[in-house]
Amino acid sequence: MTMLEKAGLALLHRLDPERAHNLSLAALRLGLAPLPKVPELPRLRTSLAGLELANPLGLAAGYDKNAVAVAPLLKAGFGFIEVGAVTPRPQPGNPRPRLFRLPEAGAVINRFGFNNEGAEAVARRLARRPKDGIIGINLGANRDSSDRAADYGRVLALCGPHVDFATINVSSPNTERLRELQGREALADIIARTVAAREDLGLGRPLPIFIKVAPDLSGAEIADIASVALESGVDGIIATNTTIARPGVSGPVAAEKGGLSGRPLFRRSTQVLARLHRETGGKVPLIGVGGIASAEDAWQKVRAGASALQIYTALVWRGLSLVPEILSGLDAILAREGFASLAEAVGTGAAEWAAPPLAS
């Protein structure tokens, strides 16, 4: 971490969390944020649902909700980035305050509630995106929608021509009853309708559709999701979103409603990831997210079954310099363990991670 980055993070941490979030995006847009240098690491080149990634480390949805900083973020060393969540109509989200730091735990609680400027505004920005780099969009539903399942297709119709993949978000804890859409019948319906919307675009190129699931699932629910994924032909699963549980955290901030992300989520999200790998027989690509803050964390996600990874919360504490740190460290671990490529290592520890009872 450079002195400039260290000073910038110290300043941001003195501000209200949401204001700091917005200022960091503004700094990126204006070219004021230092971007790390990421070395070429051929061992980390990977294929994800037909997407060729320079490395497996992506930026999770939630940071650049409105696609305002895609160009600098693509230069920050990520193998791919995901914007959103985006809803058909603009949505203010929940009342402030709605973002809370837990520095001792390396965690964050948010209850934003899909605040975004709407699909039309985001589509206009994505139409001007750099042509190189991999960009995906996280599809959301409006809180007051009469047909939430249709909302995913509406966003895809507007933004799909400008992205490389799309994620069906049925796992945010901050929109009432949204997680009910993870049930077998509801999820199968949403996937079918979103895939139909993709076909209606007539892009003439692949556009992978992923689903993003919650960590707060039972073993039976994980099995149902895996079964639907296999039957529907969905292109991948992102495991996982934030948790409504509070593992290992306490105090007044921990009592705030919303989704917890960061280090306390690591164990549970990795177990869910491994269970999905087991239930799908490794036939559905998995993207591991939740609590990654080091190369060793990234390695454990790969062992549990992840073909690619996403980070977000750890960047709050460590800045963008964490990107090359994780990538260089992961490359060194693969070399140490005798793997010529990341793909060779995927799932090699899944049985170990899937075996214990799901962490509470």
* CA 271 – CA 277 distance, rounded (Å): 10
Tokens 């203010």 identify what position?
A: 92
Please indicate whether residue 145 is annotated as part of the active site: no
Q: What angle do CA 290, 291, 295 make, to 5 degrees?
A: 110
Q: Is the dihedral of CA 244, 65, 239, 339 positive or negative?
A: negative
How far apart CA 360 and CA 358 sit, in angstroms, is: 6
Burial class (CB in 10 A: 0-12, 13-18, 19+), 347: buried
Is the bond into 85 cis (omega within 30 degrees of 0)? yes
**Could you tell me which residues come within 8 angstroms of residue 252 by beta carbon, excluding any fewer than 6 positions away?**
none
Q: Which of 24, 47, 146, 172 is catalytic?
A: 172
In degrees to the nearest 10, what's the CA dihedral of 44, 45, 49, 50?
180
Residue indicated by tokens 């491994």: 274
Contact 233, 280 (CB under 8 A): no
3-state secondary structure 29-80: HCCCCCCCCCCCCHHHCEEECCEEECCCEEECCCCCCCCCCHHHHHCCCCCE
What 8-state DSSP symbol labels residue 310?
E
Give the catalytic positions in this structure: 172
